Amino acid sequence: MVFVLDKQKKPLMPCTPRRARLLLARKRAVVHRLNPFTIRLKDRSVQQSTLQPVVLKIDPGSKTTGLALARVETIAEGEVHHALHLAELVHRGEEVRDLLRKRAGYRRRRRSTNLRYRPARFLNRRRPQGWLPPSLRSRLGNILTWASRYQCWVPLVRVDVERVKFDTQLLHNPEVSGIHYQRGELMGWEIRAYVLEKFGRRCAYCGRTETAFELDHLQPRSRGGSNRVSNLALACHACNTAKADRTAAEFGHPEVEAQASNPLKDAAAMNATRYALCDKLRVLGVPITTWSGGRTRWNRDRFGIAKAHCLDALCVGNLAGAKQGRHRTLSLKATGRGRYSRTNVNDAGFPVGYLMRKKQVKGIKTGDRVHAVVPAGFAAYGTHTGRIAVRANGQFRMGNVQGIPARFCRIRQLADGYDYALVETALHG
């Protein structure tokens, strides 16, 4: 779908690419932004339009966060969400950590190489309340950036976030929601999510990881074992079959019983970043609802939706239905906006080559999306479109193409810290 703004740049409902092409051809609209594609109507204001409620749905992940924008249709059974836009946000997490570790190494070397005595600084820093490691902060920042960008492009009424992997409240106090709910299908998904997390996604008996898991009753059902989570372990099919109607201790694994009876610490069940995220999202000024991962998987299973980060996001929340539609997923890769370090170093840590102080060369900076038509007679002959890397000598690079002269480059979109690509979304699974 294409995002649509009115003449005052206020968000309207997204339209199909076909309709956007017609509006542009009739000169009723102009291109507002290339990635994600957004048009602006020249003759329409938000007061003249009918808007439908749109929710932003977020499935936070450590490497990739799924994002989905969905139109809400309310029916008797509840809400049906129709996907308008799907995106996957790839974080820099590891990269940030590695760069900071590298910097710490250089500083340590500078401190010791010159043999100048400097007392070690030790435990003399205080971390402020709510401090998060830079790699996690970068993840939060990415999600927040995109949530507020989407708010500028669609009439957003709510944000649905998957906050916890499973609903501990539901697992530990089943009477809260009544026995029917406890024995219901959702409960099964919450239990599965909990046991998977508790046993670290590996078979409790043989330690295999890459396999389909089954829930094993430590005290077998046939000998009066209960369905409580403290009686469940994660097992591969082979171990579960081999164990048959023996208890875990009789099977030769008494330690599994101890592990199963130990409740998973709440701290492990919750994720510090996810809580911080809900806190930060309040700046959007729209209601935020939080849901468990067990419910997401239950929805995905019920509506027969394939496994992908962006489709997981679509399945977050209390739904009566989810419609995926035909969409291509927008892949958003966080690239950062350059670095402070002004030198490259070799493997031994010695500086090799210094980087220029300026960010821009002839008005263009690294990361800008550029269209370049290079005439014959130049090494980089041809038409090139994409992210550019600038050089002080005015001969730029795009991907593997070197030596694109600055004067043939036209900026299409300024660098904004993200790289964009459209990828096919997995079909219904």
User: Which tokens is 334 given?
Assistant: 């966080």
Give min distance, CB of 262 to Zn ion, in A: 20
Quote the distance between the C-alpha of residue 187 and its chain's center: 26
Q: Does 205 bind Zn ion (CB under 5 A)?
A: yes
Q: What share of the chain is helix, strand, coil (3-state, %, to 5)?
A: 30, 30, 40
Give min distance, CB of 87 to Zn ion, in A: 37
Q: Which is nearer to Zn ion, 212 or 348 (CB)?
A: 212
Q: Which stretch binds Zn ion (CB under 5 A): 25-33, 128-136, 222-230, 233-241?
A: 233-241
Site for Zn ion (CB under 5 A): how many residues? 5
Beta strand 369-374 with 409-413 is antiparallel
Look at residues 254, 240, 185 and name the one whose alpha carbon lies nearest to residue 211: 240
Give min distance, CB of 150 to Zn ion, in A: 44
Give min distance, CB of 248 to Zn ion, in A: 12
Q: Which is nearer to Zn ion, 87 or 236 (CB)?
A: 236
Give min distance, CB of 251 to Zn ion, in A: 11
Q: Which is nearer to Zn ion, 251 or 420 (CB)?
A: 251
**x/- track of binding to Zn ion for residues 72-111 (CB under 5 A):** ----------------------------------------
Q: How far apart are the first and last CA of the chain?
A: 22
Q: Which stretch binds Zn ion (CB under 5 A): 50-58, 197-205, 313-321, 408-416?
A: 197-205
Per-residue CA distances from 382 to 9, 76, 101, 213 (Å): 36, 58, 41, 54
Give min distance, CB of 245 to Zn ion, in A: 17
Interface with Zn ion in residues 35-54 (CB under 5 A): none
Interface with Zn ion in residues 249-308 (CB under 5 A): none
CA-based radius of gyration for the chain: 27
Q: Which helix (H) or strand (E) element contains residue 40?
A: strand 38-41
Give min distance, CB of 178 to Zn ion, in A: 36
DSSP secondary structure of 266-331:
HHHHS-HHHHHHHHHGGGG-S-EEEEEHHHHHHHHHHTT----HHHHHHT-SS-SEEE--S-EEEE
Give min distance, CB of 236 to Zn ion, in A: 4
Q: Does 203 bind Zn ion (CB under 5 A)?
A: yes
Q: Which stretch binds Zn ion (CB under 5 A): 58-66, 76-84, 132-140, 195-203?
A: 195-203
Burial class of residue 286 (count of CB atoms within 10 Å of its CB; 0-12, 13-18, 19+): middle
Q: Which is nearer to Zn ion, 239 or 409 (CB)?
A: 239
Of positions 67, 84, 236, 390, contacts Zn ion by CB under 5 A:
236
**x/- track of binding to Zn ion for residues 147-186 (CB under 5 A):** ----------------------------------------
- The rounded distance, in Å, linking the Cα atoms of 88 and 245 is 45
DSSP secondary structure of 313-381:
HHT-SS-SEEE--S-EEEEEEE--S--S--EEE-TTS-EEEE--S-SEETTEETT-EEEEEEPTTSTT-
Q: Which stretch binds Zn ion (CB under 5 A): 124-132, 237-245, 309-317, 392-400?
A: 237-245
Give min distance, CB of 241 to Zn ion, in A: 10
Of positions 206, 283, 356, 421, contacts Zn ion by CB under 5 A:
206
- The rounded distance, in Å, linking the Cα atoms of 383 and 398 is 11
Contacts of 393 (CB under 8 A, 6+ apart): none
Q: Which stretch binds Zn ion (CB under 5 A): 103-111, 174-182, 201-209, 271-279?
A: 201-209
**Which residues of this protein are in contact with Zn ion, per CB under 5 A?**
203, 205-206, 236, 239
